[in-house]
């Protein structure tokens, strides 16, 4: 596992900490002819070798370096195919990490992968999945009649409320699993502070009641899920 951690650290340093924005812009504009693409790949090679500090690992480092070049090159040419630039970015990062994983555990790759699935906390995975989008959909159904009576601010970001709810429920779930119930109170207080100006400016009792019900329902679902998980 320590080998994978070192490889991942080298990737994070070279791909994020030591890659200036001008390199990224130049690569996107010039693609395969960009000199910074090759500087970037060589930087990965140097950082990885430095962290491993083992010349006998040169074959593995070479495989990682070459694969990094081709994955980055494919992303540069695929960027124009996606409306959202975040999609090729995350695919790119996933492929890089997959290569690192395969290199780190190449000796027992299949056994290690099976072991990860066998030892996974499936109850926790289920709880995390439930408090995300399924809980958001359930809340939407429960508050459907109320939401039709509320005039929302159309200047807000699309689906911002849904994503805020998902994030807050994930925080609540983590706090319950860690046994930090007081942090939930801090989270509620923080949300109330951020919402105060909106409610004050709107001067709408219906909106205030709707947000309060939605907040309590969201926290209630997350708390109930956390309690059920910890009791299993």
Q: Where are the domains of the chain?
A: 2-118, 122-231
User: pLDDT-derived band of residue 198, with 50, 70 and 90 as boundaries?
Assistant: low
Mean pLDDT within 18-42? 96
Which of 138-142, 168-172, 191-195 is the least confident region?
A: 191-195
Residue 203 pLDDT exceeds 60: no
User: pLDDT-derived band of residue 221, with 50, 70 and 90 as boundaries?
Assistant: very high
Rounded (to 5) percent helix, strand, coil in the chain: 85, 0, 15
Residue 100 pLDDT exceeds 80: yes
- Per-residue pLDDT at 47: 97
Mean pLDDT within 108-114? 93
Which of 30-39, 92-101, 134-143 is the least confident region?
A: 134-143
Residue 3 pLDDT exceeds 80: yes
Residue 204 pLDDT exceeds 70: no
Rounded Cα distance, 85 and 202, in Å = 36
- Per-residue pLDDT at 212: 84
In sequence order, which residues have a C-beta less than 8 Å from that of residue 112 and are 6 or more positions away? 105
Length of the chain: 232
CA 37 to chain centre: 26
Mean pLDDT within 73-96? 94
Look up residue 52 and give its two tokens: 């491993």
Mean pLDDT within 210-216? 86
Residue 142 pLDDT exceeds 60: yes
């Amino acid at each position: 596992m320590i080998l994978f951690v070192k490889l991942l650290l080298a990737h994070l340093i070279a791909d994020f900490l030591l890659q200036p924005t001008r390199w990224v812009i130049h690569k996107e504009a010039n693609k395969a002819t960009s000199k910074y693409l090759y500087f970037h790949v060589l930087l990965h090679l140097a950082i990885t070798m430095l962290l491993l500090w083992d010349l006998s690992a040169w074959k593995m480092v070479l495989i990682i370096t070459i694969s990094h070049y081709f994955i980055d090159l494919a992303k540069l040419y695929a960027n124009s195919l996606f409306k959202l630039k975040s999609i090729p970015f995350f695919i790119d990062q996933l492929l890089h990490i997959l290569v690192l994983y395969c290199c780190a555990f190449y000796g027992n790759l299949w056994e290690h992968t099976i072991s990860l699935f066998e030892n996974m906390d499936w109850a926790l995975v289920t709880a995390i999945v439930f408090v995300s989008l399924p809980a958001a959909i359930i809340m939407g159904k429960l508050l459907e009649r109320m939401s039709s009576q509320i005039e929302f601010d159309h200047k807000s970001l699309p689906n911002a409320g849904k994503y805020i709810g998902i994030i807050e429920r994930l925080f609540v779930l983590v706090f319950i699993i860690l046994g930090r119930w007081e942090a939930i109170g801090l989270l509620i207080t923080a949300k109330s502070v951020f919402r105060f100006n909106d409610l004050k400016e709107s001067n709408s009792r219906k909106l205030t009641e709707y947000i309060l019900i939605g907040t309590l329902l969201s926290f209630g679902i997350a708390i109930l899920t956390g309690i059920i998980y910890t009791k299993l």
